[in-house]
């Protein structure tokens, strides 16, 4: 904390309040709150317009869009060097200014409903929010806010409201807002901004990604907590635990000053050694890789010591647009990732859309239970031309780096064989067209459906590797909807049934002589690491920021000891027994409180 804040800090004047949110980026900061966007444009006028006034309203709307677009272009031009790699996010917003879902629907609403531009835009955005409200996937939740951010900028121009410029901040503060747009986060100057907290957003939102890139603490998903904060309130942002403390008492301040010091010492220590191999104390070598969505995150994987990319989610290029991307666009993006990461491997997960990753232009019927419907490999095998476009792009890009491909949500042998047949057909087409490509790309599947576990022995003979997606696999195995607060507490990756299932996957992969990796959230959690090492999973893929801590922990543990320990866990019948045993045996390796 800055000395200037220490001097003016009120102690005992107001009651300490603690808000629990989501950790967007780890770290701790203590300082004064700086409220962003408190005024907003929530009060929107509504009035009926005549036929003669429609042209005027349409012109007003188009002018507001044009002005907003020019404002964003200026922000892109002025983006600090530290965030240049994230410009693609803002360029996506530029495309959205003319997106049919936002621009086209608003013009139609003015014409059809005889209302002013502000009201038409407000109603269209409300419809868009409703479309996305049931999406469970945090990555898609983050992307769905893009339209809202763009519409806010247009609305400000329509009503004449001025947006607060974060770039003009000239004192050490912690940003507090209902939400912070990518355009706003791109203006952050590390000299003045220590961290930020928001009511909305999640771990996969652009806000969170940028916070991790900048290395500043961030807590998101606070609900409406920020409405009770004011400028210059003293707050503590605990990005490790996802906690915000307002009006901290003296003893809390002392505790967190020490916690902050220990965390920064720990982070500096593991960062210095993040480039070292992940070799256990008894000589077992592990590959620790990164999960990414955006090409810009390759830098983060490399900076944090990642051995490659174990999961490249390819959905981003299919979102926030009104048609499917073409082969050339996909090829150029994939090639960029491979060249940036070379010679390290990059594993492309083929398109996993629909279900909770629906896009508006697919024209597929609405499903009562999309999580179990036409999604991932099922969608791709039904929309073969869309799938082949992606497969061709991956094969072409594979000539420029170390690429692997894996198919998501495989539930049976037939799906694997049909997908591989299409891949071979694409390679044959490219050869006939004399286009440079790599037809020998390794092919794997994601194990995230219980039926794939049951058939693991058969599936292992058809592919080059398994990658375990624990997020869906645990949910499907336990029949628990993680998004349902009534049962979410029952979701636990250390359930004995999950451990036995993971052992079967590893055993069948070993018998077939293929590698097995894990790319679900379980892979990046230090509490799970002894179990994963004990099961014999040698490749772990995770959020890039988790890589240094996991590599450091691997170097301090013995693989053989983990294996014996995990064998004892497989005999246990209750989740709590498993968790207690891990805490007792390996708690000393999991420094999370830093006090």
Which residues are identified as catalytic?
A: 206, 519
Cα–chain center distance at 327: 25
The distance of Cα 138 from the centroid of its chain, to the nearest Å, equals: 6
The upper half-sphere exposure of residue 343, i.e. CA atoms within 13 Å in the direction of its Cβ, equals: 0
Give the pair of three-digit tokens for residue 127. Answer: 């419809």
Task: Give the orientation angle of helix 138-159 with respect to helix 87-96, to 10 degrees.
Answer: 60
In sequence order, the 6+-apart residues with CB closer than 8 A to the CB of 356 are 134, 135, 136, 137, 140, 370, 371, 375
Tokens of 282: 């008894």
The 10 Å Cβ neighbour count of residue 444 is 22
Q: Pairing mode, if any, of strands 278-279 and 22-25?
A: unpaired
The whole-angstrom separation of Cα 463 and Cα 417 is: 10
Give 209's Cβ-side CA count (13 Å radius): 27
Residue whose token pair is 């869309």: 386
Q: Are 300 and 545 in contact (CB under 8 A)?
A: yes
Helix (H, G, I), strand (E, B) or coil at 137: coil
Taking residue 573's Cβ as centre, other Cβ atoms within 10 Å add up to 8
Phi then psi dihedrals of residue 388, to 5 deg? -65, -35
**166 to each of 193, 224, 430, how far by Cα in Å?**
9, 21, 49
Strand residues in 149-256 grouped as ranges (E) = 173-177, 193-198, 218-220, 234-238, 243-246
Q: Torsion over CA of 357, 361, 364 and 367, rounded to 10 degrees?
A: 40
On whether the CB atoms of residues 224 and 26 are closer than 8 A, the answer is: no
What span, in angstroms and rounded, lies between the C-alpha atoms of 216 and 195? 5
Q: Is the preceding peptide bond at 547 cis, omega within 30 degrees of 0?
A: no
Q: CA-CA-CA-CA torsion for 433, 434, 437, 439, nearest 10 degrees? A: 80
Distance from C-alpha of 573 to C-alpha of 215, rounded to nearest angstrom: 41
């Amino acid at each position: 904390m800055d000395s200037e804040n220490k001097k003016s800090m009120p102690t005992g004047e107001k009651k300490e309040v603690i808000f629990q949110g989501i950790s967007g980026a780890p770290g701790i900061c203590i300082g004064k709150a700086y409220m962003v966007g408190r005024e907003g444009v929530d009060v929107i006028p509504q009035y009926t317009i005549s036929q003669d006034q429609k042209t005027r309203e349409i012109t007003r709307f188009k002018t507001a869009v044009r002005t907003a677009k020019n404002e964003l272009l200026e922000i892109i031009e002025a983006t600090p060097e530290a965030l240049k790699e994230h410009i693609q996010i803002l360029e996506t917003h530029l495309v959205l200014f003319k997106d049919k879902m936002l621009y086209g629907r608003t013009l139609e609403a003015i014409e059809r409903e005889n209302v002013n531009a502000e009201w038409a835009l407000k109603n269209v955005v409300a419809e868009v929010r409703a479309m996305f409200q049931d999406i469970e996937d945090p990555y898609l939740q983050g992307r769905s806010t893009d339209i809202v951010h763009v519409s806010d900028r247009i609305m400000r121009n329509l009503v004449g409201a001025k947006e607060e410029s974060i770039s003009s901040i000239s004192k050490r503060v912690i940003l507090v807002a209902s939400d912070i747009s990518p355009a706003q986060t791109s203006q952050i100057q590390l000299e003045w901004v220590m961290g930020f907290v928001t009511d909305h957003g999640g771990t996969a939102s652009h806000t969170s990604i940028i916070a991790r890139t900048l290395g500043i603490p961030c807590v998101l998903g606070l609900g409406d907590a920020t409405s009770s904060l004011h400028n210059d309130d003293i707050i503590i942002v605990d990005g490790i635990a996802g906690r915000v403390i307002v009006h901290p008492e003296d003893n809390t301040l002392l505790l967190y000053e020490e916690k902050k010091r220990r965390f920064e010492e720990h982070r500096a220590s593991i960062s210095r050694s993040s480039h070292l191999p992940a070799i256990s104390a008894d000589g077992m070598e592990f590959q620790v890789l990164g999960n990414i969505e955006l090409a810009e995150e390759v830098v983060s994987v490399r900076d944090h010591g990642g051995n490659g990319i174990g999961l490249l989610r390819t959905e981003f290029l299919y979102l926030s647009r009104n048609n499917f991307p073409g082969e050339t666009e996909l090829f150029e993006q994939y090639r960029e990732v491979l060249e940036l990461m070379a010679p390290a491997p990059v594993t492309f997960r083929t398109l996993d859309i629909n279900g909770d990753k629906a896009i508006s232009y697919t024209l597929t019927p609405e499903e009562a239970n999309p999580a179990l419907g036409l999604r991932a490999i099922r969608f791709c095998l039904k929309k073969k031309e869309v799938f082949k476009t992606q497969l061709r792009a991956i094969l072409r890009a594979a000539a420029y780096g170390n690429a692997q491909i894996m198919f998501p949500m495989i539930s049976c042998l037939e799906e694997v064989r049909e997908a591989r047949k299409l891949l071979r057909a694409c390679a044959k087409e490219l050869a006939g067209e004399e286009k440079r490509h790599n037809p020998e790309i390794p092919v794997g599947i994601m194990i995230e459906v219980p039926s794939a576990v049951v058939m693991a022995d058969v599936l292992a003979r058809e592919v080059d590797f398994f990658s375990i997606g624990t997020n869906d696999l645990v949910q499907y195995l336990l029949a628990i909807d993680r998004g349902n607060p009534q049962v979410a507490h029952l979701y636990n990756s250390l359930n004995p049934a999950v451990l036995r299932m993971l052992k079967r996957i590893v055993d069948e992969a070993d018998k077939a002589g293929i590698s097995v990796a894990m790319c679900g959230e379980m892979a990046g959690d230090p509490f799970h690491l002894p179990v994963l090492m004990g099961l014999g999973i040698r490749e772990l893929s995770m959020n890039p920021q988790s890589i240094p801590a996991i590599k450091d922990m691997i170097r301090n543990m013995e693989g053989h000891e983990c294996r014996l320990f995990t064998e004892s866990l497989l005999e246990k019948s209750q989740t709590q027994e498993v968790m207690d045993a891990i805490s007792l045996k390996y708690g000393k390796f999991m420094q999370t409180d830093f006090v």
